[in-house]
Amino acid sequence: MNRHAFAWLPGFLMIAAVASLAVGLLDAPARPYALLSAAGLLIIAFVALIVAAVRGEHVDRYRELAESLPFGLWLADKAGRFTHFSDSYLRMLGMTLAQARRGEFLERMPVEDRDRFVAAWQRRSPGEPFEAGYRVTGADGKAYSVVSHGIALRDGSGKCTGWIGFSLDVTARQRAAEQMEFLAELSRVLSLTLNPAITLERTAALMVPRVSDWYAVDLLSDEGEVERVLMVHADPQQTRAARGLLACAPRELTLPSGAPLVIATGRPQVYANFPISAIAQLDQGDPQQVFLDSLKGTGIVVPLVARERTIGALTFLWCGRTRPIDADETLFAYLIARRVAIAYDNAQLYEREHQVADFLQRASLPERLPQLPGMAIGAHYAPGASEAEIGGDWYDAFQLPNGRLAISVGDVAGKGLPAAATMNSVRLTMRGAAFEGLTPSAVMTRVNNYLLNDKPTMVTAVFGIVDAVGHTFTCSIAGHPLPLILNGAGDAASPRPVSPPLGLFPESTYPEQSLDFGIGSLLVLYTDGLVEDDRDLPGAEAALLEVARAAQRRSESNAARFIAEQIVGDAPNDDVAVLTIACASEPLRELDLTLPAEPASGRLFRQALQRLCNAVGLPDERIAALQVAAGEAIMNSIEHAYGVRGGFVRLRGSLEDGKLIVEVSDRGRWRTPRSDDRGRGLEIMSGLVGDVTIDRSQDGTVVRLGTSLNGAV
Cβ atoms 36, 21 nearer than 8 A: yes
Mean pLDDT, rounded, for 558-564: 94
Residue 50 has pLDDT above 80, yes or no: no
Residue 622 has pLDDT above 80, yes or no: yes
Instruction: Output the pLDDT for position 72.
Output: 75
**What is d(CA 335, CA 300) in angstroms, rounded to the nearest whole number?**
13
Q: Outline where 455-586 has alpha helix (H).
A: 537-554, 559-567
Instruction: Output the pLDDT for position 381.
Output: 92
Instruction: Output the pLDDT for position 127.
Output: 83
Instruction: Output the pLDDT for position 278.
Output: 37
Looking at every residue in the chain, the average pLDDT score rounds to 81
Mean pLDDT, rounded, for 78-86: 91
Domains of the chain from N-terminus onward? 8-169 (3.30.450.20), 176-355 (3.30.450.40), 366-583 (3.60.40.10), 591-708 (3.30.565.10)
Instruction: Output the pLDDT for position 103.
Output: 92
Convert 18-40 into a string of H (helix), E (strand) and C (coil).
HHHHHHHHHHCCCCCCCCCHHHH
Residue 63 has pLDDT above 90, yes or no: no
Residue 12 has pLDDT above 50, yes or no: no
Residue 56 has pLDDT above 60, yes or no: no
Q: How far apart are the first and last CA of the chain?
A: 146
Q: Which stretch of DSSP H or E encloses residue 290?
A: helix 287-293
Confidence of residue 304 (pLDDT cuts 50, 70, 90): very high
Q: Is the whole-model pTM more than 0.85?
A: no
Q: Is 271 helix (H, G, I), strand (E, B) or coil?
A: strand
Q: Could you read off the pLDDT of 168-223 as tens digits, one per residue?
A: 888 888 888 888 999 999 999 988 888 888 889 888 889 988 888 889 899 998 88
Instruction: Output the pLDDT for position 52.
Output: 46
Confidence of residue 485 (pLDDT cuts 50, 70, 90): very high
Instruction: Output the pLDDT for position 531.
Output: 87
Residue 157 has pLDDT above 50, yes or no: yes
Residue 594 has pLDDT above 60, yes or no: yes
Instruction: Output the pLDDT for position 384.
Output: 76
| Residues β-bridged to residue 65 | none
Query: Residue 610's closest CA among 588, 632, 595, 594?
Result: 588
**What is d(CA 75, CA 357) in angstroms, rounded to the nearest whole number?**
72
Instruction: Output the pLDDT for position 14.
Output: 46
Instruction: Output the pLDDT for position 68.
Output: 58
Instruction: Output the pLDDT for position 510.
Output: 96
Most confident of 233-247, 506-520, 527-541, 671-685: 506-520
Q: Could you read off the pLDDT of 320-366 as tens digits, one per residue?
A: 777 788 888 899 999 999 999 999 999 888 888 777 777 777 777 88
Q: Which stretch of DSSP H or E encloses residue 659?
A: strand 659-666
Instruction: Output the pLDDT for position 620.
Output: 85
Quick one: what percent of the chain has pLDDT higher than 90?
A: 36
Q: Taking the alpha carbons of 320, 324, 328, 332 in that order, is the dihedral positive or negative? A: positive
Residue 262 has pLDDT above 60, yes or no: yes
